[in-house]
């Protein structure tokens, strides 16, 4: 998943695992996260997803 670095505007490729997305009959608090680092400036990025 390509995202933009907020520090240097470079494109960062982040791996986000496939998931069920938002499903009404599941817990609403199952937000997950991962971290990656920009190869251009070294800024650490945190990504959150369902």
Percent of the chain whose predicted confidence (pLDDT) is above 90 = 38
Question: Regarding predicted confidence, which is higher, 17 or 28?
Answer: 17
Task: Give the number of domains in the chain.
Answer: 1
Please tell me the distance from the alpha carbon of residue 32 to that of residue 11, in angstroms, as a whole number: 22
Model confidence at 49: pLDDT above 90:
no
Q: 41: domain range? A: 2-17+25-49
Q: What are the tens digits of pLDDT across the range 4-26? A: 999 999 999 888 777 666 666 66
Kind of pairing between the strands at 44-49 and 2-4: unpaired
* CB contact at 8 A, 28 and 13: no
pLDDT at 41: 95
pTM reported for the whole predicted model: 0.63
* CB contact at 8 A, 14 and 45: yes
């Amino acid at each position: 998943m390509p995202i933009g670095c907020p520090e240097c505007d470079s494109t960062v490729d982040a791996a986000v695992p496939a998931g069920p997305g938002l499903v009404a009959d599941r817990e609403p608090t199952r937000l997950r996260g991962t971290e990656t680092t920009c190869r251009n400036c070294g800024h650490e990025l945190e990504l959150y997803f369902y």
